[in-house]
Amino acid sequence: MRMRRPSPLGGRRPRRAELAAFATVDSPAVDDLLPDPGCPLRMLIVGVNPGLWTAAVNAPFAHPGNRFWPSLHAAGLTRRRVDAAAGLLDSDAEDLLARGVGITNLVGRASAKASELTRDELRAGARCLINRLPELRPRSVAIAGITAFRQAFDLPRAVLGLQDPALVPGWPRSVRLWVVPQPSGLNAHENVESLAEKWLRVWDDSAQDSVADSESPG
């Protein structure tokens, strides 16, 4: 597991009055959860950008109202239901990485809402992600958020699900590209069970050897 910084709050949850201080300008506000170089990565989950709570505890999808960790557990991708609201335990991080699952973001700066990001930031994040793929070598990438995906990759008609990598300049055809719903509690269209079903689709599909082996997106 690549080195990650401890929670800035020393293992406690942030207070509401503290959150604004964790908004950042451009630096990565939360560490990626990635395996050591050369270790297999079956599924790379890409959030849009860190929320303020996530930045406060340096743990991905840490807000207690976010359905990311509950849905990942419901999909069978964690041994237990992770509570990252005060930070991510090393044992939970190692469990996820041992299964071949990593986590990063399109944009590194933290904000109260993803809608605060500019189109230029999202497009720069997309280019950065594409440039990192040869090193990370995931079998599948799941980007969590259809609106951000459309803007970042200039695909305004994209829909949730498996994407055609040929539509993304520079995207390796050996890497499957998925878009899954934003797991935030603000997304009223999804619940833990429906999100778990989508994680499982990506996970099962990542067992395939190449994009060409899969069914056409649709």
Structure confidence by residue, pLDDT tens digits, 89-123:
999 999 999 999 999 999 999 999 989 999 999 99
Q: Are 93 and 58 in contact (CB under 8 A)?
A: no
Q: What's the whole-model pTM score?
A: 0.93
Say how far apart CA 215 and CA 218 lie, in whole Å: 9
Confidence (pLDDT) at 214: 42
Confidence (pLDDT) at 7: 92
Confidence (pLDDT) at 134: 95
Looking up tokens 């009223």 gives 188
Digitized pLDDT (tens) for each residue of the chain, 218 residues in all? 788 988 999 999 999 999 999 998 877 899 999 999 889 999 999 999 999 999 999 999 999 999 999 999 999 999 999 999 999 999 999 999 999 999 999 999 999 998 999 999 999 999 999 999 999 999 999 999 999 999 999 999 999 999 999 999 999 999 999 999 999 887 888 999 999 999 999 999 999 764 444 443 33
* Average pLDDT score over the chain: 93
Say how far apart CA 37 and CA 21 lie, in whole Å: 33
Confidence (pLDDT) at 208: 79
Say how far apart CA 211 and CA 192 lie, in whole Å: 28
Confidence (pLDDT) at 213: 41
Confidence (pLDDT) at 209: 64
Residue 162: how many other CB atoms lie within 10 Å = 20
DSSP state of 142: E
Per DSSP, which regions of 95-212 are E strands? 101-105, 138-144, 161-162, 176-180
Residue 72 neighbours by CB under 8 Å, 6+ apart: 78, 82, 96, 196, 199
Confidence (pLDDT) at 212: 43
